């Protein structure tokens, strides 16, 4: 593909992002669903691209008709299909950059219950998914057993993780898994918001959600996503003078350093495996592990070095958030725009089964287990975990804002601390990335046994340690 076509692909992608934003501004329904503009843009690009409009036109015209690829040229779709695997590294490398990492004791005291709850729900998604894969999806529908990992990859990991693992799916011979995962991630966000709002209303009626404050948390102000002129804040702090170096350039460079450290770590692990357990057992895992979880580790290392040696504190969290947010928007739009609806249609029964099972498990964990595992403010804390386990981190933050608009409970602070002991492992972390190679190498039964033991361990720990407080 030529540089000109790559540039044109980003221009067209930006056009869809702008259109998606304005659709959300003037759509009350989409505002009530709190649907991100990037998802709207991605779905719109999918509708007017080769998968929907192109196929419809092909039914009634010849193959050389101008709209057989819809309004999106085939070369642009080809560029878009490569973007998720690249931009996911930026998103994960940015997770901990610019953050002052608190002590483990503080994290555990404030965020411990939410750490345990989140881990239990995420590992439980593997248990539910693998049970379905072993006893229903594989024998009845002929689906690859690796589908057992799709609930956790899609629901907790979100579009970023689902799209970022597309290369791993392909390497392991389960190419359709990437499209199923992205589709499930979209279902997860929609159900996370809709079911979450229903649960908050239920909790308010039952007296569990004491801080909702009537409809304050559901107010329409700001739903269109526009910040009022008088309330607008800077996108980031200028930690360097632009005449010396543009602050944005410096922060992008720091993200690049984090990714490079992750790359070195991954190559080192691949080399170590080749000369140790890989050579001894002929079992290789690291060659299938994508870069992004190691890029996150690289970000942590970069931040630790900066905390120790950079007395000027040049890394600004707000600026990093803008870089990460831009990368996530590009990732989501390009991933949704290149989803194969044919693959989802061919595996519709498995797709629906996984989606329903994932939502049912999350609701059960919130209503039944959260009150027994979280000693105080279980509803406000647990609704954030439910949102993250069904959609993405932003869904959890949204639901907590509705349930506790004035932050009168420790839910928001605990949720923030939770990510430090949560994201390195699941929800796009090390085990999420390794789950597919593990199932491929050792089989779904072995991974099911392991996930069941871990889930039970977190459950018992939550019941008998935090539950008794």
Residue with tokens 């779904």: 444
- Average of per-residue pLDDT values in the chain: 90
State mean pLDDT over 198-220: 72
Q: Residue 218's pLDDT is what?
A: 47
Q: What is the DSSP string of 46-60?
A: HHTSIIIIIHHHHHH
Residue 214's pLDDT band, with cuts at 50, 70 and 90, is very low
Categorize the per-residue pLDDT at 375 as very low, low, confident or very high, splitting at 50, 70 and 90.
confident
Which position has the token pair 């949560």? 422
Rounded to whole angstroms, what are the CA distances from 434 to 158, 259, 340, 445? 16, 18, 24, 16
> Is the CB of residue 315 less than 8 Å from the CB of residue 97?
yes
CA separation for the pair 469, 465 (Å, rounded):
7
- Comparing 193 with 264, the larger pLDDT belongs to 264
Say how far apart CA 165 and CA 147 lie, in whole Å.
13
Check residue 216 and give its pLDDT.
45
Lowest mean pLDDT among 3-12, 125-134, 213-222, 372-381: 213-222
| pLDDT tens digits, 271-297 | 999 999 888 888 788 888 889 889 999
Dihedral, 216, 382, 37, 327 alpha carbons, nearest 10:
130
% of the chain exceeding 70 in pLDDT: 97
Q: What is the pLDDT of residue 158?
A: 87
Q: What's the angle, vertex CA 417, arms to CA 430 and CA 420, rounded to 5?
A: 20
Report residue 76's pLDDT band, with 50, 70 and 90 as the boundaries: very high
Predicted confidence (pLDDT) per residue in 1-17, tens digit: 689 999 999 999 999 99
Is pLDDT at 215 greater than 70 in this prediction? no
pLDDT computed for residue 393 by the predictor: 76
Tell me what pLDDT residue 221 has: 54
- Cβ proximity of 22 and 39 under 8 Å: no
Angstrom distance (rounded) from CA 65 to CA 158 = 36
Phi-psi region of 407 (alpha: psi -120 to 50; beta: other; left: phi over 0): left
- List strand residue ranges (DSSP E) for 82-241, in order: none
- Please give the average per-residue pLDDT across 350-357, as a whole number: 96
What does the DSSP 8-state code read for residue 241? -
Q: Which two tokens stand for residue 132?
A: 């379905």
Give me the residue spans of the domains in the chain: 247-321
Residue 319's alpha-carbon distances to 243, 297, 304, 376, in angstroms, are: 18, 20, 18, 35
Q: Tens digits of per-residue pLDDT, 216-251? A: 444 555 667 787 887 787 778 899 999 999 999 999
Rounded Cα distance between 440 and 165, Å, is 14
Among the listed residues 184, 108, 113, the one whose alpha carbon sits nearest the alpha carbon of residue 149: 184
Measure Cα distances from 36 to 160, 341, 386, 394, 404 in Å. 14, 21, 18, 10, 21
Q: Which tokens belong to 439?
A: 């199932």
How many helices and strands, by DSSP H and E, does the chain display?
23, 0
pLDDT exceeds cutoff 70 at 162:
yes
Range with the lowest mean pLDDT among 26-40, 42-56, 152-166, 263-277? 26-40
pLDDT at 211 exceeding the cut of 80: no
Q: What is the pLDDT of residue 139?
A: 96
């Amino acid at each position: 593909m030529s540089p000109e076509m790559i540039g044109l692909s980003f221009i067209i992608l930006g056009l869809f992002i702008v259109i998606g934003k304005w659709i959300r501004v003037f759509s009350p329904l989409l505002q009530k669903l709190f649907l991100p503009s990037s998802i709207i843009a991605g779905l719109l690009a999918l509708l007017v691209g080769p998968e929907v409009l192109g196929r419809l036109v092909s039914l009634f015209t010849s193959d050389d008709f101008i709209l057989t690829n819809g309004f999106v040229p085939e070369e642009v779709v080809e560029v878009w299909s490569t973007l998720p695997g690249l931009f996911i590294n930026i998103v994960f490398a940015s997770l901990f950059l610019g953050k002052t990492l608190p002590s483990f004791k503080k994290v555990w005291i404030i965020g411990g219950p939410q750490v345990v709850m989140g881990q239990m729900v995420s590992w439980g998604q593997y248990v539910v998914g693998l049970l379905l894969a072993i006893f229903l999806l594989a024998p009845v529908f002929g689906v690859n057993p690796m589908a057992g990992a799709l609930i956790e990859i899609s629901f907790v990991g979100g579009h970023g993780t689902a799209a970022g693992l597309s290369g791993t799916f392909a390497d392991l011979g389960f190419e359709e898994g990437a499209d199923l995962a992205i589709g499930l991630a979209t279902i997860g966000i929609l159900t996370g918001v809709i079911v979450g709002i229903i649960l908050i209303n239920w909790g308010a009626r039952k007296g569990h959600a004491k801080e909702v404050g009537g409809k304050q948390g559901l107010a329409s102000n700001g739903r269109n996503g526009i910040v009022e002129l008088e309330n607008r804040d800077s996108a980031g702090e200028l930690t360097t003078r632009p005449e010396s170096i543009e602050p944005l350039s410096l922060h992008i460079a720091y993200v690049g350093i984090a990714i490079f450290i992750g790359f070195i770590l991954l190559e080192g692990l691949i080399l170590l495996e080749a000369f140790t357990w890989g050579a001894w057992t002929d079992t290789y895992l690291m060659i299938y592990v994508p870069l992004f979880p190691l890029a996150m580790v690289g970000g942590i290392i970069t931040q630790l070095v900066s905390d120790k040696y950079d007395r000027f504190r040049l890394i600004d969290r707000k600026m990093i958030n803008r870089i990460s947010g831009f990368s996530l928007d590009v990732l989501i739009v390009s991933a949704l725009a290149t989803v194969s609806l044919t693959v989802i249609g061919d595996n519709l029964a498995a797709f629906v089964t996984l989606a329903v099972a994932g939502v049912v498990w999350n609701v059960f964990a919130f209503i039944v287990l959260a009150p027994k595992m979280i000693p105080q403010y279980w509803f406000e804390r647990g609704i954030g975990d439910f949102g993250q386990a069904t959609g993405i981190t932003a869904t959890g933050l949204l639901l907590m804002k509705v349930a506790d608009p004035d932050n009168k409970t420790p839910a928001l602070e605990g949720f923030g601390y939770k990510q430090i002991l949560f994201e390195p492992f699941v929800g796009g972390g090390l085990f999420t990335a390794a789950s597919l190679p593990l199932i491929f190498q050792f089989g779904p039964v072995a991974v099911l046994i392991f996930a069941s033991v871990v889930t039970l361990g977190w459950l018992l720990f939550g019941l008998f340690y935090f539950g008794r407080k």
